[in-house]
Amino acid sequence: FCQSLLHTVFPPELRFASIKLFHRIFSYFSSYCYYDITEIDGVNTNELYNAVQLYLSSSASISGTRLSLTRGLNSSSITFGLSNNDRLTDTFNNVTVEWEHIVTQRQSQTFSWRPLPEEKRGFTLRVRKKNKQLVLNSYLDYVMETASELRRKNQDRLLYTNSRGGSLDSRGHPWESVPFKHPSTFDTLAMDAEKKSEIIADLMDFANGEAFYQKTGRAWKRGYLLYGPPGTGKSSMIAAMANYLGYDIYDLELTEVNTNSELRKLLMKTSSKSIIVIEDIDCSINLTNRNKNNGGGGGGSRKHTYDAVSPPGGDDGGGNTITLSGLLNFTDGLWSCCGSERIFVFTTNHIEKLDPALLRSGRMDMHIHMSYCSFQSLKILLRNYLGFDESDLGEEVLAELEAVVVDAAMTPADVSEVLIKNRRDKRKAVAEVVEALKVRAERNRMRLKSEVDDEEQEKRALDSDKEGCEEKGDHNVEDADDEKIH
Ligand SMILES: Nc1ncnc2c1ncn2[C@@H]1O[C@H](COP(=O)(O)OP(=O)(O)OP(=O)(O)O)[C@@H](O)[C@H]1O
Ligand SMILES: [Mg+2]
């Protein structure tokens, strides 16, 4: 009755003004202030809303008897969230805040450029007025940071590529991404245990080293060079690194990049906590560092210039003008620090072809040699593919394997191929591996022997030539003496 009386007696304007006044008086006397974080801000999605939602999902265990569960696209885990009008308290620096999730039905579909959801969702944050500054200055930043950390952990890795050349997508990004689901881990990687644990420790030091890099005044980045013959696990190692640290991978295709500035733009669009990979560096860029004497009219100064890359077709007049110095700036220059926590990984099959400028510490901090199967790595492969431990193999087989594995110089890729082919019959698989290793070892021994024989023959031929010369020379001397005498 009162309500209808209010409706009839007071005109709407007055009613509105009185509600506003009431709110003002209430907020004046209240010791709290409230912040609304709505899901849609105008027509844009409010990033803070998503961040808060994700952040609160991490505190789900604290309280709350009713929670909503979600599983995002590309995500491999489930996250928790607050249900309608549920509240949750959180503490930050000894300050307690309260979050409430408010869902209301949207009244009428107003005109918009894109369909809006029927529900209007938002979080309301209630804080004491005296804590207002703390919340605005650091709590919300903390929420955003925690949320992005969670997003990274929950979501599978992304693999970015610049295969589109220099063109940008609709959001102005030069990178294209796909979910990265490589199953390689340090457990499945066949290599010597000490080397593996050294790499893992190095990665861990790097990931936890923010304070150290800050203290020493270094950019928070690290470079690894993986080198070795094809099929020894260089790409698998990169995947294992990404899976271990939870970083995204940017696979940089240098042949698709035309200029140094394009390279720089690509770098600027990479996120932190990522691995930037340049595979087969010796093939994608002509990395010879040349001292060109800039003598003619250029002030006579000796300039250190680098060769421009010639396009793969060998046509020197092409548009690809990335230089080694451009690449070095990419990894090491001022631009490399725009963002933090980055790992650069270069791979090559021929380390000897690389320029020393690229290999120096600071650019490539760690050189990792991926090599042929050793006895240790062979045992890892047998365990991974067949589930066989040393005890399953037996001493005799182990001794046989150990005797030939080094001479065989087989890559882990070759060995795993034999194992995959015979994986239904495990005993046969082991026998086949032993056989393959023996055949390879024998072949290598024969090759080595024939090389040594060839060398010896050559040496002998050279020696006999020399002797012949000396004899001839002696003759000449005698002849000369003869001549003198005559
Ligand atoms: N060290 C290793 N541990 C486990 N598996 C390996 C290893 N090396 C190679 N493999 C197997 O061989 C396949 C090829 O390896 P990968 O692509 O990592 O070699 P690569 O060194 O990158 O070769 P390339 O130089 O040709 O790029 C992988 O799918 C993996 O299964
Ligand atoms: Mg590879």
The residue among 51, 235, 273 whose CA lies nearest residue 144 is 51
Please report which ligand is nearest the Cα atom of 234: 1
Q: Are 366 and 206 in contact (CB under 8 A)?
A: no
Please report which ligand is nearest the Cα atom of 277: 2
Rg (CA), the chain: 34
Residues 19 and 41 in one domain: no
Q: What burial letters (b/e) apply to 323-345, b meaning 16+ CB within 10 Å? A: bbbbbbbbbbeeebeebebbbbb
Joined together, the tokens standing for residue 357 give 């400028």
Identify the domain boundary among 114, 132, 155: 155
Nearest atom (ligand 1) to Cα of 239: 18
In this structure, what CATH number is given to the domain that contains residue 353?
A: 3.40.50.300
Residues 347 and 254 in one domain: yes
Q: Looking at the domain assignment, is residue 73 inside a domain? A: yes
> Residue 191 C-alpha to ligand 2 middle, in angstroms?
16
Which residue's alpha carbon is at the smallest distance from atom 26 of ligand 1? 230
Q: Looking at the domain assignment, is residue 223 inside a domain? A: yes
Cα-based distances in Å from 305 to 168, 172, 323: 31, 33, 9
Does the C-beta of 339 come closer than 6 Å to ligand 1?
no
Work out the burial of residue 236: count CB atoms within 10 Å of its CB; fewer than 13 is exposed, 13-18 middle, 19 or more buried: buried
**Which domain covers residue 404, as residue numbers?**
373-476
Position 64 scores a pLDDT of 55
Q: Which long-range contacts (CB under 8 A, 24 or more apart) does 14-19 make?
A: none
Residues 106 and 139 in one domain: yes
Does the C-beta of 349 come closer than 6 Å to ligand 1?
yes
Position 292 scores a pLDDT of 39
Please report which ligand is nearest the Cα atom of 227: 1
Residues 10 and 79 in one domain: no
Secondary structure of residue 339 in the 3-state scheme? coil
Residues 188 and 308 in one domain: yes
Joined together, the tokens standing for residue 166 give 């220099």
How many Å apart are CA 81 and CA 155, to the nearest integer?
16
Q: Looking at the domain assignment, is residue 483 inside a domain? A: no
Q: What's the length of the chain? A: 486
pLDDT in tens, 217-236: 888 889 999 999 999 999 99
Alpha carbon dihedral 225, 228, 232, 234, in 10-degree steps, equals 20
> Residue 195 C-alpha to ligand 2 middle, in angstroms?
19
Residues 87 and 141 in one domain: yes
Does the C-beta of 235 come closer than 6 Å to ligand 1?
yes
Residues 141 and 184 in one domain: no
Position 414 scores a pLDDT of 94
Which residue's alpha carbon is at the smallest distance from atom 9 of ligand 1? 233
Does the C-beta of 468 come closer than 6 Å to ligand 1?
no
Which residue's alpha carbon is at the smallest distance from atom 13 of ligand 1? 413
> Residue 129 C-alpha to ligand 2 middle, in angstroms?
58
Interface TM-score (ipTM) > 0.95: yes
Residues 445 and 356 in one domain: no
Position 486 scores a pLDDT of 37
Protein residues placing their CB within 5 Å of the ion ligand 2: 234-235
Residues in Cβ contact with 467 at an 8 Å cutoff, skipping those fewer than 6 apart: none
Residues 143 and 20 in one domain: no
The residue among 413, 455, 404, 466 whose CA lies nearest residue 434 is 404
Does the C-beta of 258 come closer than 6 Å to ligand 1?
no
Per the structure, how many domains does the chain have? 4
Which residue's alpha carbon is at the smallest distance from atom 27 of ligand 1? 230
Q: Looking at the domain assignment, is residue 482 inside a domain? A: no
Q: Are 245 and 387 in contact (CB under 8 A)?
A: no
- From its phi and psi, is residue 95 left (phi > 0), alpha (psi between -120 and 50) or beta? beta
pLDDT in tens, 372-420: 999 999 999 999 999 988 888 888 999 999 999 999 999 999 999 999 9
How many Å apart are CA 71 and CA 240, to the nearest integer?
25
> Residue 190 C-alpha to ligand 1 middle, in angstroms?
9
Residues 66 and 166 in one domain: no
What residues of the chain score a pLDDT lower than 50? Answer: 61, 288-318, 475-486
Residues 47 and 22 in one domain: no
Does the C-beta of 412 come closer than 6 Å to ligand 1?
yes
Q: What burial letters (b/e) apply to 390-408, b meaning 16+ CB within 10 Å? A: eeebeeebbebbeebbebb
Does the C-beta of 348 come closer than 6 Å to ligand 1?
no
> Residue 226 C-alpha to ligand 2 middle, in angstroms?
10
Residues 255 and 186 in one domain: yes
Which residue's alpha carbon is at the smallest distance from atom 17 of ligand 1? 235
Give the count of alpha carbons within 13 A of 373, CB side only: 29
Secondary structure of residue 38 in the 3-state scheme? strand
> Residue 411 C-alpha to ligand 1 middle, in angstroms?
8
Task: Choose the residue to mutate in 236, 382, 411, 420 for probing ligand 1, maximizing ligand atoms within 8 Å of C-beta.
Answer: 236
The residue among 157, 145, 150, 159 whose CA lies nearest residue 246 is 157
Position 442 scores a pLDDT of 94
- From its phi and psi, is residue 48 left (phi > 0), alpha (psi between -120 and 50) or beta? alpha
